[in-house]
Amino acid sequence: MIVMKFGGTSVESAEAIERVASIVRARLQRQPVVVVSAMGKTTNRLLALARLAAEGKQADALAQVSELREFHWNEARRMVIPEEKDNLHASLDAHFEELSHMVAEIAQVEAISPKMVDAVSSLGERLSSIIVTHAFRYFGMPAAHVDSRTVVITDTRHTQAAPFFDLTYPRLQAAIPPLAKSQVVVMGGFIASTRDGVATTLGRGGSDFTASIIGAGIGAEEIQIWTDVDGMLTCDPRILPGGHLIRTISFDEAAELAYFGAKVLHPATVLPAMDKNIPVLVLNSRRPEVSGTRIVNQPPPCKNPIKSIACKTDITVVRIHSLRMLMAYGFLRRIFEVFDRFQTPVDMVTTSEVSVSLTIDNPQKLNEIRLELEGIAGVEVEQGRAIVCVVGDDIRGTPGIGARIFRALEGVNVLMVSQGSSKLNFSFLVDAADLKRAVAGLHNEFFQELDPEVFA
């Protein structure tokens, strides 16, 4: 068995789903289990209409429900065998009636709880997985739909739920392999449920994570992440076009790149696959002939010291300073307890005896965090920054790597540096206006010559 995950752009229309069907059909002998994201920008549209309802604009929200209903049906009716058309129409109607009831509930209380966010946003994958199942049958493949909420079990941390692997894996093993022997199993990514059957989600981009969980749970031979790019590249094409395709990379390196901004892969994707030693492939659904990127435990040695350059934009810096804390115990503990209490992850940290500078990429709770910190120290906040992360197999143990990095950054003001906590990355902070210049300088320094075993 293999798991094949297709992102939103890969299933955004009837034409896109037909391409997906062709890709899956070519791999029928490998017993594919297909995981799909919501169609196109459906999740964004669902959350937008929920916000309208919370603002008391119920009529506007219901109008958007009607638009979404029309969009899904217009695409779906082109890919359903005649005898199943009425059943598919009834199923879609039932889902949109459910959404209309949720809109009314949100409008009544003029608020949207995390639990309701999950209930609303789960509709995208629920709809797309049903439509893709019918489409596969239309294109001549036997297909069965499995609701991911019945097999992927999580905690109750809505909008960012964590799976219970000990509950999820047995359910997957019992449900999926028997069906996959004779049919293409289709499931929605991103969605799950609590032990009590309440809908949860794994966080934005969580369909990749779903695919990895399913692959680990059923003991798949391979997990394929099909997206709209050729694979993982030596730099972010949105920042600097012209990067080179990475043929193979380690799980650890891929995880670092994903965490520090490589949008092609969800940061948590590699964890279940790495635990079960299942290769992950990143492939392009619009160019299936391209070999893509293969992520494995032990890739071949690379002559280039750097594999890729990742970036995180919209970074906020929090600088905390207190002379009262000179030689005092517990200063760092008190600071990080504040960030923990407000569930705000920290990316980079630099410290001295009396000051701490750190970065966050989610400023949602920044005002509350700042208010608490000002009780123990002076606080300054800087916004409009970017993190650049240079990733390679053994950066910490490569002599001269720092000198080459700073030579490539000539003329760029480096605001913070983090190196040594991981042997895989060298990260630094720059002003957002300097990001493209920094990435271009690094790419020119490290990728003039390429190891053909590792790069295309």
pLDDT tens digits along 190-247: 999 999 999 999 987 799 999 999 999 999 999 999 998 899 999 988 899 989 999 9
Above pLDDT 90, what percent of the chain?
82
pLDDT score, position 343: 87
pLDDT score, position 327: 54
The first and second tokens of residue 286, run together, are: 């619009």
pLDDT score, position 74: 97
Looking only at the bridges linking them, the beta strands covering 378-391 and 425-431 are: antiparallel
Residue 125: its H or E element: helix 114-138
Residue type, position 213, single letter = I
Q: Where are the domains of the chain?
A: 2-228, 308-446
- Rounded to whole angstroms, the Cα distance separating 35 from 300 reads 29
Measured CA angle at 48 (ends 64, 5), to 5 deg: 95
Measured CA angle at 452 (ends 450, 456), to 5 deg: 85
Q: What is the CATH number of domain 308-446?
A: 3.30.2130.10
More confident residue, 395 or 346: 346
Q: What are phi and psi of 379, to 5 degrees?
A: -130, 130
More confident residue, 228 or 433: 433
pLDDT score, position 428: 93
**Token pair 């939103």: residue:** 8
pLDDT at 267 over 80: no
Chain centroid to Cα 61, Å, comes to 27
**Computed over its alpha carbons, how large is the radius of gyration of the chain?**
24
Place 259 in a pLDDT band, splitting at 50, 70 and 90: confident
pLDDT at 263 over 90: no
pLDDT at 135 over 80: yes
pLDDT score, position 425: 87
- Rounded to whole angstroms, the Cα distance separating 167 from 217 reads 10
Summary mean pLDDT of the chain: 93
Q: In the chain, what are the helix, strand and coil shares in percent, each to the nearest 5?
A: 45, 20, 35
112's CB contacts (< 8 A; 6+ apart) are 50, 51, 53, 54, 106, 120
Place 395 in a pLDDT band, splitting at 50, 70 and 90: confident
Where do runs of H (alpha helix) occur along 238-357? 251-259, 270-276, 331-341
Question: pTM of the full predicted structure?
Answer: 0.89
pLDDT at 130 over 90: yes
Asked if the domains 2-228 and 308-446 are classified in one and the same CATH topology, the answer is: no
DSSP state letter for 67? H
pLDDT score, position 128: 98
Place 302 in a pLDDT band, splitting at 50, 70 and 90: very high
Above pLDDT 70, what percent of the chain?
97
Residue 170: its H or E element: helix 165-180
Place 255 in a pLDDT band, splitting at 50, 70 and 90: confident
pLDDT at 353 over 80: no
> Could you tell me the sign of the dihedral formed by the alpha carbons of 125, 126, 131, 132, in that order?
positive
Half-sphere exposure of 319 (CA within 13 A, CB side): 7
DSSP state letter for 81? -
More confident residue, 306 or 264: 306
Residue 296 zone, left/alpha/beta (φ > 0; ψ -120 to 50; rest)? beta
- Rounded to whole angstroms, the Cα distance separating 80 from 139 reads 9
pLDDT score, position 351: 85
Q: What is the CATH number of domain 2-228?
A: 3.40.1160.10
Beta strands per DSSP E along 228-284: 248-250, 280-284
- Rounded to whole angstroms, the Cα distance separating 439 from 235 reads 8
Other Cβ atoms within 10 Å of 367 Cβ, number? 10
pLDDT at 420 over 70: no
In this structure, of 12-16, 106-110, 243-247, 374-378, the range with the lowest mean pLDDT score is 374-378
Other Cβ atoms within 10 Å of 165 Cβ, number? 17
